[in-house]
Structure 1
Amino acid sequence: IVNLEPEKLEAQIRLNVIQQVMLSQYFMAHHFVPRGKGRVCIMSSLAAHSIGSGNAFYYSSKCFLTQWGKCLDHECRTLGPGVLTIQPGAMNDTNFSTAAGCKASPCFTLLGMPSEECTDEVVWRLQNDDARTATGVHTIGFKNQLAVALEPWASDSLAAWLGRMMVFQSNTPYLRSMNARESKLAILAQ
């Protein structure tokens, strides 16, 4: 985060937090609650369960979205509408990995899933009449569900290391091959 320009951080906040919150609020307040039905779908990420070493804000924003979905679902439960929060993992057929400079990382090459798997499950859940299926937080893909299940047993240090190694290769410019302490010292030295 010490190497992130304030404008880029603000753009990430707008994209990953503010826009989803504002859209959720608009549809709940103006469409779903007055009719007593409807569903908001919030796109979080498997990153909500990770330590975001190298990209702390992205991981934290996904934590926020998961918690926002849980709280909004609880708040609106008695009013009729529901909230579905989706946590996909790395999708290997989108432009995300290319834009982030980590297309060859194990996260995308070994664990990645096609985006169609995510969209198929979202559509199935949104069309389902069972509230347990159509609302709540759902992680997509067996490998991702396994990672979430194992999360409580992983130390923060191990989770951060795995996050760096799985998402960023050693030559990824985004990682800059510095840990946070080294980045801070480099900034202070200037």
Structure 2
Amino acid sequence: MVRGAGAPLDPVRLRAVREAAGLSQASLAERVGTTRRQVIAYEHGRERPEVTRLAALAAAIGCGVADLVAEGALPEGMAGLRVRAGLTVHAAAAAIRERLEEDIACSRPVLAAAERGVLPASWRPPAARAAVIDAMSTAYAAEKTEVSAAWETTFARPGSATEEAPNRRDKDPH
């Protein structure tokens, strides 16, 4: 049984990339601030690192996050760009928010909902869309074309909500 809720780490890729970089398990663990035992658990597929640890592993080896996860395992759309950048939803929201004007919302809940396909009201105007895409491009170290494509994928998914859900409780009329 695999422990952890991180992106599906490909244990074979992790080991191959680590070895290609000339790093031992112990030296990788030291660079990341963990134990050799933890690196072994990752390489044997017993545990999955959270996104920040995955990003730390990639940085310590000198590769990208996408090089360490199973082929096609990154989420589609904006969530995939965020994970590829090695950011949690909280960290990504903060990085995006600092690049936006006050009237464009970007908190952890707003970004999490957006990644599920709920287009925030403050992101709908064309100028706001452009500002969010610019901010994501910088925060995720991604090309604007990649962010635009991820935007289209995220908000065009079948079953995704393009309008914000009303904030109300359904009451039993009886």
**TM-score, normalized by length of structure 2?**
0.29
Higher strand share: 1
- Output the TM-score relative to the length of structure 1: 0.27
Higher helix share: 1
